[in-house]
Amino acid sequence: MLVFFRDGFYKDLILLLVITVVIGAVFAQGIAWAIDAYFGDTLDGMIGEYGEYDVILHIREEAKEAALRELERIGNESFPGYKLNQTLTIAGQANFFFGLPEVYRNKEVLESITSYFGAVPGINGYTLMVEPSVLIRGVHPAVREGLTEQIQDLSGVRFVVKDGVNLVVVLTSDDLISQATHQIEEILENYQIVELRFPMGFEVDTQEVGEQALAVLRSQGWAQDAFYQNVTSAQYGEDLDAFLKTLVEMRDFLGSYASQVRIVPKSGVQLGVGELVVLEEDLVIEVTGVYGELVEGMIVEGAPTQSTDKIVLKGYRYLGEGERGEFVGDVEIENERYRLAYAVDESLRLLAELEELSVQASTAVDNADAVLTTFQEALMQLEVLQVQMRQLNEGITGGDSKSSGEEFLVTLLLNGLFQTLAQGVIHTGEESLDSLQHLDIEEMRKSLTGISQQISNVQEIDVAAIMEQIGFVRDTLPNLNDAEIGQSIRLINTYLGGQVIPGERVQLLVQGSKLDEKAVEVLFQEELQNPYLHTYSTSVGMVTPDARGEVFRILKEVRSIVAGLLSIIFTVIVLVLDHATIFSTLKYIQRSARTGPKTWLNRLNPLYLFGGMLGSVILTSVYYLSRSRIPYLNWSSVLFIGFVLGVMIVTWAERFSPVDSMELMAGQCLGLSNVQIMREVVVPPSRPGLLNLLNRFKQQF
Amino acid sequence: MLEICDLHKSFGKVVALDGVDLKVSKGETVVIMGPSGCGKSTLIRCINRLTEPDSGKILLCGQDVMQLEGKELQQLRRNVGFVFQQFNLIGRLTVLENVIFHLVLDGMDRAEAREKGLSVLAKVGLETAEGRRPHELSGGQQQRVGIARALVTNPEIMLWDEPTASLDPILVGEVLEVMEELVRSTATTMVIVTHEVSFARKVAERIVFMDKGRVVEEGEPREVFEHPRSEIGKLYRKLLSH
Ligand SMILES: Nc1ncnc2c1ncn2[C@@H]1O[C@H](COP(=O)(O)OP(=O)(O)OP(=O)(O)O)[C@@H](O)[C@H]1O
Ligand SMILES: [Mg+2]
């Protein structure tokens, strides 16, 4: 049947095939490329061309002008030929893309970005975006060096940069990303971190437990070829530890400020943890603990009246928004926060009073001092008076005076006067004066001075500063109501619930064959005699494709899929427009040919085989040349699809492109050769395709 | 000129030719008649291998037709003029092109072919229609183009497969006229399949009756129509007497 083409049309056919395949590839590739270019350009506009920039510097928005100047200075000084581009500003953070000239694109520079850019005004950090690269996140410090060396030795790896806990593997070509990723994953696969965690409250010597655990593993002979290492207390995970510990502290801190809720259940009422109780003032309590008769809870909705005293309210079972059930008991609410606030307020008042008091006290001391002085003077005058009085008294009663008559007279007069005086006053006054004289005035003065000294000491204290500080303390009391505190505690608990709070943690590095974490957990629980420990298996690092690499990979994939689909569509079009004509001619020829005996083999029409092969050849070549790639379609499936398409076209050839058997017969009967029949009779009126187009060059009529 | 021996042809289960023997001498005009489906078209198409016979022997101009392939077969076909019932013109070509395109493809100079073409078109009375396309012509005109196309190579033998069967009765006459004229004016061997009884009687030197894939009777027109021996012949006589 193919003999039909032997006299020349096969050349046309071959030419057709070649041109079909080339055009198909160009067509499929072209459209795919256009799609690629469109998306690629959009992407480049946002984050630069692939490999154009190496570092994204995050700068606070308000500092970006200053930062720009500084970056330009650093660029000119340290990296002549650098590229700088300010792109998106997101959430108050400007992002500068910095591209290093090729000579500076090396490990040393990339590992010391901070030393170059640390002083840029407003800098908030940086992100490495060296391309092409593969990023390994969270690399365990115990293996970092070893990994770096191994990865460094992979082909296509330029260098490996340490970036915090990550490793950035810079490659020589972006074609190598998937290969390198695969190889790195294989290397990482060799390691495993088996972590033993003890719940909070178990104080164990992690180093020692680590060694014990290793000994257990060795004695059990698990995975002979594996290589174990105790890597406990490495820095790894400290951040998380700290965070979780902070959360616990935070929870306790918040808890201590929340109102203390105690429920006194009515006899016969059972309350369980987590149950809700609604109170008279629209408060909702969640039961947090049941200790026999004592039930504790926390407020999760509403705010109690602020009171330093204990509030007692009636509690009912909570049945939903605004609905209350049976009475469950009295609920006592006490709030330390209000008490503290009250105490602080009182202290502030006291301090103010104290200052006032000290001023008054010092005035009082001064006054007392003045009184003493006056008193002392008065006392001395009294003494003088006493002496005179005594002399006078003697003079009056003694009489041995040798004074003149004048003197005597005065004395006498006076004597009369003082006699009465002395009789009445001095008699008694003698005693009083004596006792006054016995008062230790100096001593009193001394102690007064002491008091005044102390008062001035008090005055020297900066009460204002103390008051300010206490005021500050008062202000730092959480400005949260009970419901908010309750919600926060709930939230923290939910988060912590998912974590074994890393009280104590032991890490073992396993190299070689893997340990089954659950199997070793049982082993360790037994051997280390701690049923509470848990084991977890983690990897020593995670390979993550860099965002842009990923976008590009997806773009490439989309491009290949589009090209693949276009290849199939193109093949169908070509088969329908061109080859259907040829097949319907061949089928006609076949029908008029001599019919031999119908054997089994004869039924296997070679035309279908030919059609299938043709379909396979066209589709596979176009698919290959247009660099198509459809996931889950390997080459044999592509061949198969082509084959099926070809067979389908042969089957329905006349429907797609009927030949006029009359004309064909006329051609035959006029003695035309087959190639002439094809070129002049069959093809010209056929569907407008490549075959038809190419035929125009050969056609004579 | 033409000698057919024990020719067989089946289409699947349908036996179209069941051992046909036929001899035609040079210059003779033979008319083949028979009921529809008896195998006339199949027989006539087997002569130039438009249909491939299953078995049997065909000698044409001394050549064993069954042995011919490729170039030789083409050469043979060029020597045989064939007129189809459905005209089988090439729709996209003009009248003149239809008549001469095989000459040009065979290597003849276009001008020379044109001249030849115009002269045969004149013979069938269509010299003015050279630039028209088949679909612009009446059935009779189209068939005359078909006749011109068959004539243009001066074939040694002409095969006619019911040339008037698909024509409007009014148009049949013009074609038969052309045919009669041809038979009279040329010495070309003619094998004509037709149902036109009176025409057959007029032009045929011999009539061949076929039925069910076999030749059932043959002889001079007068003889076979007046004293038919076969059932078919008797039917035709009836037809003629009415
Ligand atoms: N290409 C074909 N495929 C299948 N069967 C065919 C084919 N050509 C002819 N036949 C069958 O062969 C038998 C003979 O057909 P043929 O056309 O030779 O008859 P015919 O005598 O020319 O009839 P008609 O007067 O109608 O033209 C018929 O039964 C026909 O159905
Ligand atoms: Mg017929």
Distances (CA, A) of B240 to A181, A479, B206, B234: 96, 125, 17, 10
pLDDT of amino acid A613: 94
Amino acid present at B192: I
Q: Is the pLDDT of residue A224 over 70?
A: no
pLDDT of amino acid A456: 75
Task: State both tokens at A204.
Answer: 């164990």
- Of the pLDDT bands very low, low, confident and very high (cuts 50, 70, 90), residue A421 is low
Mean pLDDT on A489-506: 62
Give, as one character, the DSSP assignment of residue B69.
Answer: -
pLDDT of amino acid A280: 79
pLDDT of amino acid A234: 44
**Is the alpha carbon torsion for A108, A110, A115, A116 positive or negative?**
positive
Does B78 contact A676 at a Cβ distance shorter than 8 Å?
no
- Comparing C-alpha atoms, which of A94, A73, A71 is closest to residue A84? A71
B70–chain A Cβ distance below 8 A for any pair: yes
Mean pLDDT on A194-211: 70
Of residues B195 and A520, the one with the higher pLDDT is: B195
Q: Is the pLDDT of residue A491 over 80?
A: no
Chain B residues in contact with A671 by the CB 8 A cut-off are 74-79, 102, 106
pLDDT of amino acid A225: 54
10 Å CB burial of residue B215 (0-12, 13-18, 19+) is buried
10 Å CB burial of residue A335 (0-12, 13-18, 19+) is buried
Ion ligand 2: residues, Cβ under 5 Å? B 41
Distance between first and last Cα of chain A: 26
d(C-alpha A698, C-alpha A680), whole Å: 9
pLDDT of amino acid A385: 77
10 Å CB burial of residue B192 (0-12, 13-18, 19+) is buried
Q: Where are the alpha helices (DSSP H) in chain B?
A: 40-47, 70-78, 95-105, 110-123, 139-151, 169-185, 197-203, 221-226, 231-241
CATH assignment, B2-12+24-89+157-241? 3.40.50.300
pLDDT of amino acid A401: 47
Cβ count near A132 (within 10 Å) = 22
Ligand 1: residues with CB < 6 A are B 11, 14, 16, 34, 36-42, 162
What's the 3-state SS for A191-227? Answer: EEEEEEEECCCCCCCHHHHHHHHHHHHHHHCCCCCCE
Q: How big, in percent rounded to 5, are the helix, strand and coil portions of chain B? A: 45, 25, 30
Q: Are A232 and A210 in contact (CB under 8 A)?
A: yes
Taking only the tens place, the pLDDT of each residue in B1-39 is: 899 999 999 988 899 999 999 999 999 999 999 999 999
pLDDT of amino acid A239: 66
What's the B29 CA to ligand 1 centre distance in angstroms? Answer: 23
pLDDT of amino acid A252: 78
H/E stretch holding A658 reads none
Distance between first and last Cα of chain B: 36
- Comparing C-alpha atoms, which of B155, B152, B150, B153 is closest to residue B163? B150
Taking only the tens place, the pLDDT of each residue in A119-173 is: 777 777 788 888 788 888 888 877 888 888 888 888 888 888 888 778 888 888 7
* CA–CA min distance A671, chain B (Å): 4
* CA–CA min distance A590, chain B (Å): 11
Global pTM? 0.55
CB contact burial A198-237 (16+ within 10 A = b; e otherwise): beeeeebebeebbebbbebbeeeebeeeeebbbbbeeebb
Distances (CA, A) of A239 to A198, A236, A242, A243, A554: 18, 8, 5, 6, 34
Amino acid present at A47: I
Amino acid present at A279: L
Q: Is the pLDDT of residue A180 over 70?
A: yes
pLDDT of amino acid B163: 93
Q: How big, in percent rounded to 5, are the helix, strand and coil portions of chain A? A: 60, 15, 25
Task: State both tokens at A87.
Answer: 């792109």
Q: Are A52 and A99 in contact (CB under 8 A)?
A: yes
d(C-alpha A148, C-alpha A168), whole Å: 10
Does A671 contact B89 at a Cβ distance shorter than 8 Å?
no
Does B88 contact A665 at a Cβ distance shorter than 8 Å?
yes
Least confident of A20-24, A439-443, B29-33, B140-144: A439-443
**Residues shown for chain B:** 242
Q: Where are the alpha helices (DSSP H) in A399-462?
A: 405-421, 427-438, 441-460
Does A671 contact B78 at a Cβ distance shorter than 8 Å?
yes
Distances (CA, A) of A536 to A18, A139, A166, A188, A500: 60, 17, 21, 17, 11
What's the A191 CA to ligand 1 centre distance in angstroms? Answer: 82
Mean pLDDT on B133-138: 94
H/E stretch holding A464 reads helix A463-476
A590 alpha-carbon distance from chain centroid: 74
Q: Are A254 and A488 in contact (CB under 8 A)?
A: yes
B82 vs A593, A669, A672: nearest CB:
A669
pLDDT of amino acid B24: 94
Angle of CA points A41, A44, A50, to nearest 5°: 120
Q: CB-based contacts of A554: which residues, under 8 Å, 6+ apart?
A: none
CB contact burial A309-326 (16+ within 10 A = b; e otherwise): eebebebbbbeeeeebee
Q: Please state, for a pLDDT cut of 90, what percent of chain B lies above it.
A: 75
Residue nearest to atom 11 of ligand 1 (CA): B16
pLDDT of amino acid A208: 74
d(C-alpha A97, C-alpha A244), whole Å: 35
Cβ count near A264 (within 10 Å) = 16
Taking only the tens place, the pLDDT of each residue in A260-295 is: 888 888 888 887 777 888 887 778 888 877 777 788
Q: Which ligand is nearest to the CA of B38?
A: 1
pLDDT of amino acid A1: 60
> In A74-119, which ranges are E strands?
83-90, 93-99
- Chain A residue with CA closest to B90: the answer is A663
Task: State both tokens at B68.
Answer: 């011919």
Mean pLDDT of chain A: 78
Least confident of A211-215, A416-420, B94-98: A416-420
Taking only the tens place, the pLDDT of each residue in A559-615 is: 888 889 989 999 999 999 999 999 999 888 887 776 555 566 556 788 899 999 999
Mean pLDDT on A614-632: 90
| Max CA separation in chain B (angstroms) | 53
- Of the pLDDT bands very low, low, confident and very high (cuts 50, 70, 90), residue A498 is very low
Q: Is the pLDDT of residue A547 over 80?
A: no
Mean pLDDT on A416-421: 55
Chain B residues in contact with A593 by the CB 8 A cut-off are 52
Domain ranges of chain B: 2-12+24-89+157-241
**Is the alpha carbon torsion for B218, B219, B220, B223 positive or negative?**
negative
Task: State both tokens at A121.
Answer: 């005004």
H/E stretch holding A126 reads strand A123-128
Of residues A356 and A593, the one with the higher pLDDT is: A356
d(C-alpha A277, C-alpha A275), whole Å: 7
- If one residue of B32, B42, B43 were mutated to test the ligand 1 pocket, choosing by the most ligand atoms within 8 A of its CB, it would be B42
Contacts 24+ apart (CB under 8 A), A69-76: A70/A119, A70/A120, A70/A121, A71/A96, A71/A98, A71/A117, A71/A120, A74/A116, A74/A117, A74/A120
Mean pLDDT of chain B: 92
- Chain B residue with CA closest to A3: the answer is B70
Q: DSSP assignment of A576-595, as one string?
A: IIIIHHHHHHHHHHHHHS--
Q: Please state, for a pLDDT cut of 90, what percent of chain A lies above it.
A: 14
Chain A residues in contact with B104 by the CB 8 A cut-off are 700-701
Task: State both tokens at B216.
Answer: 């059932």
d(C-alpha A24, C-alpha B103), whole Å: 38
Taking only the tens place, the pLDDT of each residue in A61-115 is: 777 788 888 888 888 888 888 888 877 666 677 888 888 888 888 888 888 888 8
Q: Is the pLDDT of residue A402 over 60?
A: no
> In A490-595, which ranges are E strands?
504-511, 534-538, 542-545
Q: Are A192 and A515 in contact (CB under 8 A)?
A: yes
pLDDT of amino acid A500: 46
Distances (CA, A) of A194 to A216, A265, A573: 13, 48, 59
Place of tokens 């406990």: A232
| Max CA separation in chain A (angstroms) | 202
Least confident of A212-221, A237-246, A347-356, A631-640: A237-246
pLDDT of amino acid A236: 43
Residue nearest to atom 28 of ligand 1 (CA): B37
pLDDT of amino acid A430: 53
* CA–CA min distance A641, chain B (Å): 33
HSE-CB for A213 with a 13 A CA cutoff: 31
Chain A residues in contact with B105 by the CB 8 A cut-off are 672, 676, 680, 700
H/E stretch holding A471 reads helix A463-476
Place of tokens 């630069």: A48
HSE-CB for A581 with a 13 A CA cutoff: 23
Chain A residues in contact with B14 by the CB 8 A cut-off are none
Q: Are B144 and B122 in contact (CB under 8 A)?
A: no
Of residues A214 and A419, the one with the higher pLDDT is: A214
Predicted ipTM of the assembly: 0.92
- Comparing C-alpha atoms, which of A266, A267, A309, A258 is closest to residue A285? A258
Strand partners, B30: B191, B206
Q: Is the pLDDT of residue A507 over 80?
A: no
Phi, psi of A179 (to 5 degrees): -65, -50
Residue nearest to atom 26 of ligand 1 (CA): B36
Q: Which residues of A touch chain B, with CB atoms under 8 Å apart?
A: 7, 592-595, 660, 662-663, 665-673, 676, 680-681, 684-685, 700-701
Q: Are A95 and A80 in contact (CB under 8 A)?
A: no
10 Å CB burial of residue A274 (0-12, 13-18, 19+) is exposed
Chain A residues in contact with B102 by the CB 8 A cut-off are 670-672
pLDDT of amino acid B135: 94
What's the B200 CA to ligand 2 centre distance in angstroms? Answer: 16
Q: Is the pLDDT of residue A497 over 70?
A: no
Mean pLDDT on A181-187: 84
